[in-house]
Chains A and B, each alone.
Chain A
Amino acid sequence: NAGVTQTPKFQVLKTGQSMTLQCAQDMNHEYMSWYRQDPGMGLRLIHYSVGAGITDQGEVPNGYNVSRSTTEDFPLRLLSAAPSQTSVYFCASSYSSETEEYFGPGTRLTVT
């Protein structure tokens, strides 16, 4: 099992550009989520999904969109990148919302 995979590992964007961060899991988990990690602030939830076709907002959803068309994939879209979105992004999956989450290796995004 590959677990949770994320692409790309690194990305540099200019302000106003859009892009999609990819996330896939092969554990047949229903629950998937996206976090951002900033120094001194811990992991903050952006969006999450409890199953294919169902998504909801987390703590910091502004500027991001998600969709979940399959159980395996949960892409995160940045609509118009801003310097405040410079961060490390982690995708995670779990069997349910009350069990441990398994994290991907992260995407380091810089917006200039």
Chain B
Amino acid sequence: EDQVTQSPEALRLQEGESSSLNCSYTVSGLRGLFWYRQDPGKGPEFLFTLYSAGEEKEKERLKATLTKKESFLHITAPKPEDSATYLCAVISGGYNKLIFGAGTRLAVHP
């Protein structure tokens, strides 16, 4: 069964304290991995798509990487405005639709 697990569930950082969020997946043939950001009371906002192991994407303080078993979202020198829930989702060869993880709630304190 296709599955996506995100860790940790919640993360509290001080401003400037870099860290990483993890998304591990078990799917029958990965066709794409997506990262989204969700602010309270709003819909998810697209950040990155990764298609193959070794691929990396960057946007401001965020960098997403992909291996054959997991993806990391690295946050460098975070600011309070980076506080949000970060969602990971995959499309597998066996199920032609997005499967979401439960998300990581990130809080960055000044």
Number of interface residues of A (CB under 8 A): 23
> Are B43's CB and A97's CB within 8 A?
no
**In contact, B44 and A45 (Cβ under 8 angstroms):** no
Q: For B36, list chain A residues within 8 Å (CB).
A: 103
Q: Are B97 and A99 closer than 8 Å at their CB atoms?
A: no
Among A42, A58, A99, A101, the residue within 8 A (CB) of B101 is A42
Asked if B49 and A99 make an inter-chain contact with CB atoms under 8 angstroms apart, the answer reads: yes
Chain B residues in contact with chain A, CB under 8 A? 4, 31-32, 34, 36, 41-46, 49, 87, 89, 91, 96-98, 100-103
Give 28 A-B contacts (CB < 8 Å), ordered by A residue: A4-B43, A33-B97, A35-B100, A41-B102, A42-B87, A42-B102, A43-B87, A44-B100, A48-B97, A58-B97, A90-B43, A90-B44, A92-B43, A97-B91, A97-B97, A98-B91, A99-B49, A100-B34, A100-B49, A101-B34, A101-B46, A102-B46, A103-B44, A103-B45, A104-B43, A105-B43, A106-B41, A106-B42
